[in-house]
Amino acid sequence: MIIILQKGDYIMKKIISLSLLIIISLALFTGCKDTKTYNVLIKDNNSPYSNFEDNKAKGLEVDLLDAISKEENFTINYVKDSEKDDYISASSELINENGNYDSTDSYYQKGIIFTTRDDSNINSYEQLLHQKIGVIKDSYGEDFGNQIAPQYNLTVKEYSTEKEMYGDCKNNKIVGFFDDTLTVKSAIKNGEKFKTFENEEKTDSLSLMVNKGEEKEFVKAFNSGLKQIMSNGEYEKIVNKYK
């Protein structure tokens, strides 16, 4: 079993869930003799990282996996997470505390960024003094917001969903919020009237993890393909598409 994980810089004593879950099929051969097919359980409604549109998998992670598989001559069959009962839902990080997994090279460095309404005069943390901000529960944004709260005397409100948090921000119930950088920028591209601080706080690195000692061939191929798309410019092209 292969899992897309988000391994972070913060040491968090919590098992949170995943973005993508990949199950390695038993060497399914299609067409070309040496082409293997891997079934991928993908988290839906997780834009811009992964989602389904018209039954087609899309998103940053999907584009990167497709590019890597093309370089290494394997194929991927994407399956909605809702079609598997044992899928771990939502998206954040999983701490590999028990050492049961081997990891691929990191393929993306995530971050969080402070976001306000586009008509706000707030442009720095210093201007947040004594203000109320929003964070998503069990996220890096929550950790960082609580970390700086004493310094700026902040009130930190937790939310379960971006929809609720964004709504409170637009209705002036909070002055702004910490959220995943690409998620916020995707929302702005889609019409949300927000603006972000210039400085991004780096958080977790995305990587694939496999059951320890298993699927070494896949890990080797993934790492090789990742290096290839980083060197030939395809990686930068894909990532810039979502910035």
Per-residue pLDDT at 42: 74
Q: Which of 92-101, 156-165, 184-193, 195-204 has the lowest mean pLDDT?
A: 92-101
Backbone angles phi, psi at 54, to 5 degrees: 55, 45
Same domain, residue pair 99 and 217: yes
CATH label of the domain that carries residue 98: 3.40.190.10
**Residue (of 92, 113, 96, 112) closest to 104 by Cα position:** 96
Same domain, residue pair 92 and 33: yes
Same domain, residue pair 18 and 128: no
48: preceding bond cis by omega (within 30 degrees): yes
Task: State the Cα–Cα distance between residues 15 and 29, nearest whole angstrom.
Answer: 35
Per-residue pLDDT at 34: 66
Same domain, residue pair 122 and 77: no
Same domain, residue pair 215 and 141: no
**Domain around 116:** 110-202
Q: Which of 47-61, 163-177, 222-236 has the lowest mean pLDDT?
A: 47-61
88-123 pLDDT, tens digit each: 222 333 445 556 677 788 888 889 999 999 999 999
Same domain, residue pair 140 and 77: no
* Secondary structure, 3-state, 169-189: HHCCCCCEEEEEHHHHHHHHH
Q: What's the total number of domains in the chain?
A: 2
54 neighbors 232 (Cβ within 8 angstroms):
no
Task: State the Cα–Cα distance between residues 87 and 82, nearest whole angstrom.
Answer: 8
Cα→Cα distances 92→79, 81, 185, 212, Å: 20, 15, 18, 21
Same domain, residue pair 97 and 159: no
Same domain, residue pair 191 and 175: yes
| Amino acid identity at 181 | T
* Secondary structure, 3-state, 108-173: EEEEEEEEEECCCCCCCHHHHCCCEEEEECCCHHHHHHHHHHHHHCCEEEEECCHHHHHHHHHCCC
Same domain, residue pair 190 and 123: yes
